[in-house]
Structure 1
């Protein structure tokens, strides 16, 4: 019996920008990443989404905006 995974998730960084503000944990600069995510099943795209994620440049924590 052979089990082959035919699902694939691809995440690609489109752009990086310096965001205003400082990290609440260490006080470092915040960087905004525009990320494109795509899920595929048997090489057919099923899901496509572009998001903006925020990270600290010093401690590398993912930050959330409230």
Structure 2
């Protein structure tokens, strides 16, 4: 017997703002986008996750922030 679970992720943009620094690939401006993700299991919300993602405005690449200690 196989069971199949249906999980749906819904994401929406909360806001965007200019971030400091430049893109290392094309030297374009960087924008920070706040995203809220909602996971649902059969129409029942399971979890809410807030993330901040960084993108270049010229080349549209997703940028990853690495912390150096």
TM-score between the two structures when normalised by the length of structure 2 = 0.85
> Which residue pairs with 2:58 in the alignment?
58
Structure 1 residues without counterparts, runs of 5 or longer:
none
CA RMSD of aligned residues (A): 1.3
Shift of 1:63: 0.3
> Which residue pairs with 1:20 in the alignment?
20
> Which residue pairs with 1:38 in the alignment?
38
The structure 1 segments of at least 4 consecutive aligned residues displaced by more than 3 Å after TM superposition are: none
Number of matched residues?
Answer: 63
Structure 2 residues without counterparts, runs of 5 or longer:
none
Shift of 1:5: 6.6
TM-score between the two structures when normalised by the length of structure 1 = 0.88
